[in-house]
């Protein structure tokens, strides 16, 4: 009986350790790695759904976005640098959307670390953000991404077979729309 109890305790401990390690990372996502498990709600807004090439409702994972490359900005409405960079990131979206060669290949999303849906909306409205933003009220995604400081940019290449790879990541220091787009194109091989 005692042995069974000990075995059970060890199993629970090992399982907890494993489960927790999949939820929280101790370092930011970096080049060459795959993304942590991130589940996002399919946008209710039809334009945003179309932009991401998604349909229906429920949750989706970032590699399901219909694109060759996805740029993720982890931001917060409470972050001064994210506020300062917001117009420049909007401009990056417009640069991509106005270029027929890359328009359907590169998509941009934002994840509001610790931000409620209301707070994300305040940010979206204040800066007229034209691309989809997702709340992460309980810091779940933020924890999975190693509790990065904001803004944190991740560029993900999505392969034909549905696999993906992080090809670039950067903390802050947003260099402006043109240089950043260059970095994206170069790193993702577009």
Partner 1 sequence: MQKERLANIILLPVVLSVFILPPMAFSLSDAFKGNTYQVGTLKPIDSVLKVKVGDPAPNFMLPSISGEKVSLSQFRGKKNVVLSFVPAAWTPVCSDQWPGYNIAKDIFNQYDAILLGITVDNIPTLFAWTNQMGQLWFPVLSDFWPHGGVAKRYGLLRSDGVSERALLVIDKKGFIRYIDVHDINKRPPLEDLMSALEKLK
Tokens of 109: 């999303």
Backbone angles phi, psi at 115, to 5 degrees: -100, 135
Measured from the CB atom, the residue of 103 and 149 that comes closer to partner 1 is 149
Between the CA atoms of 48, 53, 56 and 58, what dihedral angle is there, to the nearest 10 degrees?
-80
Alpha carbons 111 and 144: distance in angstroms, whole number: 12
Are the CB atoms for 102 and 185 separated by under 8 Å? yes
Q: Phi/psi class of residue 142: alpha, beta or left (left: φ > 0; alpha: ψ in -120 to 50)?
A: alpha
For position 167 contacting partner 1 by CB under 8 A, the verdict is no
Under the binding rule (CB under 8 A), the answer on residue 123 touching partner 1 is yes
Determine the 3-state secondary structure of 5 from DSSP.
helix
Among 69, 150, 169, 188, the residue binding partner 1 under the rule CB under 8 A is: 150
State the Cα–Cα distance between residues 159 and 49, nearest whole angstrom: 21
Query: Which member of 114, 153, 167, 180 binds partner 1 (CB under 8 A)?
Result: 114
**137 sits near partner 1 (criterion: CB under 8 A):** yes
**Using the rule CB under 8 A, is 116 a contact of partner 1?**
yes
Among 42, 81, 104, 105, binds partner 1 (CB under 8 A): 81
Closest separation in Å from C-beta 184 to partner 1:
20
Q: Which listed range, 39-47, 65-73, 139-147, 175-183, lies at the site for partner 1 (CB under 8 A)? A: 139-147
- Applying CB under 8 A, which residues contact partner 1? 9, 12-13, 16-17, 20, 23-24, 76-84, 113-116, 118-119, 122-123, 126, 137, 139, 142-143, 147, 149-151, 171-172
């Amino acid at each position: 009986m005692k042995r069974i109890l000990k075995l059970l305790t060890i199993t629970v401990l090992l399982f907890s350790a494993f489960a927790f390690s999949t939820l929280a990372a101790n370092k930011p996502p970096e080049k060459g790695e795959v993304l942590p498990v991130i589940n996002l709600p399919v946008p209710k807004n039809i334009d945003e759904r179309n932009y991401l090439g998604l349909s229906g409702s429920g949750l989706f994972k970032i590699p399901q976005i219909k694109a060759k490359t996805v740029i993720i900005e982890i931001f917060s409405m409470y972050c001064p640098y994210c506020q300062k960079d917001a117009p420049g990131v909007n401009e990056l979206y417009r640069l991509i959307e106005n270029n027929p060669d890359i328009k359907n290949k590169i998509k941009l999303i934002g994840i509001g670390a610790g931000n409620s849906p209301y707070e994300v909306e305040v940010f979206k409205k204040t800066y007229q953000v034209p691309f989809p933003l997702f709340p992460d009220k309980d810091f779940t995604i933020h924890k999975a991404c190693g509790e990065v400081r904001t803004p944190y940019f991740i560029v993900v290449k999505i392969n034909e077979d549905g696999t993906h790879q992080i090809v670039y990541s950067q903390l802050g220091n947003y260099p402006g729309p043109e240089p950043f787009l260059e970095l994206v194109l170069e790193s993702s091989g577009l």
